[in-house]
């Protein structure tokens, strides 16, 4: 595997940062993650838009142009020899002399094999639990997943696949995915506030507009539990039906018809993106 650090290509084994980096001292770094299909980076513009937005929001400057990053990513894919790869770009607070003040940011881009959800995974769907938590600076794709990783033993104990966060007023998101519900009167709803703007989320909102009414607004836990269908979206999970929440079965416990339709349309949308590159 290949990686990119400090303006040069390195091997994956050389992808090392000194412990004085603010990512390790203070968890201060942003990243973005995209995947490739047959060697083509998927929705790269959306991911770069978000990466630059995260960097700006966290007051870190990316001293590399979009075109340069795209060239680096293409070269990494070529060097890795992978057709299906996960590209991770991370910008950190840098080697801070006082372990607290941001310094010259470190940019590191890695390229590794990636596992994505299959059609069989879609058919099985996932079981989730809910947990009260509001992510810090939710619009920024920071490296802070402290609560998410910390909750893994609870997920195991509850035999759940993922955890849905909620705050005082509404449900928000999964640690690494956005949530959508389909109401019994056939509306598609997804939260807009206090969540990360997912790239797959954005695509689904676009695709769904020609199929059913779409609303981006808060969803209460009551409305969630009354939903006809629930699914999550992410770069690697694409669309994943949620078949139970806190042990309550959603619908008939199988992927619902609208979720299925959106899934098929998303697969087609992805193919269409690739043929137009």
Residues that bind its own copies in the complex, under the rule CB under 8 A: 3, 13, 15-29, 58-59, 88, 90, 92-93, 98-102, 108, 110, 115, 133, 136-137, 142-150, 152-153, 176
The two beta strands, 8-11 and 2-5, are antiparallel
For residues 42 and 266, give the distance between their C-alpha atoms in angstroms, rounded to a whole number. 12
Q: How far is the CB of 61 from its own copies (least distance, A)?
A: 13
For residues 76 and 78, give the distance between their C-alpha atoms in angstroms, rounded to a whole number. 5
In angstroms, the Cα distances linking 204 to 9, 156, 209, 211, 257 are 35, 30, 8, 11, 15
Q: How far is the CB of 178 from its own copies (least distance, A)?
A: 17
From 199, 178, 161, select the one nearest 32 (Cα to Cα).
Answer: 199
Whether residue 2 contacts residue 10, with contact meaning beta carbons closer than 8 Å, is answered with yes
Q: How far is the CB of 259 from its own copies (least distance, A)?
A: 24
Closer by beta carbon to its own copies, 133 or else 202: 133
Closer by beta carbon to its own copies, 33 or else 180: 33
Closer by beta carbon to its own copies, 90 or else 179: 90
What Rg do the C-alpha atoms of the chain give, in angstroms?
A: 19
Q: How far is the CB of 244 from its own copies (least distance, A)?
A: 21
Q: How far is the CB of 246 from its own copies (least distance, A)?
A: 22
For residues 270 and 220, give the distance between their C-alpha atoms in angstroms, rounded to a whole number. 31
């Amino acid at each position: 595997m290949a990686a990119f650090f400090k303006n040069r290509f390195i091997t994956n084994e050389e992808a090392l940062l000194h412990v004085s980096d603010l990512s390790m001292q203070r968890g201060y770094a942003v990243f973005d993650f995209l995947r490739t299909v047959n060697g083509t980076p998927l929705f790269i513009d959306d991911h770069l838009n978000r990466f630059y937005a995260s960097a700006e929001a966290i007051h870190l400057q990316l001293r590399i142009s979009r075109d340069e990053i795209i060239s680096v990513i293409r070269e990494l894919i070529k060097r890795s020899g992978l057709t299906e790869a996960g590209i991770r770009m991370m910008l950190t607070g840098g080697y801070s002399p006082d372990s607290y003040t941001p310094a010259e940011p470190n940019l590191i881009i890695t390229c590794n094999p990636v596992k994505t959800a299959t059609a069989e995974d879609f058919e099985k769907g996932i079981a989730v639990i809910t947990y009260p938590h509001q992510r810090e600076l939710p619009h920024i794709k920071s490296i802070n997943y402290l609560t998410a990783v910390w909750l893994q033993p609870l997920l195991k104990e509850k035999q759940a696949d993922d955890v849905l966060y909620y705050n005082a007023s509404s449900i928000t998101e999964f640690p690494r995915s956005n949530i959508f519900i389909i109401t019994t009167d056939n509306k598609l709803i997804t939260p807009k506030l206090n969540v990360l703007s997912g790239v797959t989320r954005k695509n689904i909102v676009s695709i769904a507009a020609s199929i059913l009414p779409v609303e981006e607004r808060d969803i209460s836990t009551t409305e969630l539990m009354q939903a006809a269908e629930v699914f999550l979206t992410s770069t690697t999970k694409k669309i994943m039906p949620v078949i139970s929440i806190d042990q309550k079965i959603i619908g008939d416990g199988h992927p619902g018809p609208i979720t299925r339709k959106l899934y098929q349309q998303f697969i087609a949308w992805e193919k269409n993106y690739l043929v137009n590159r």
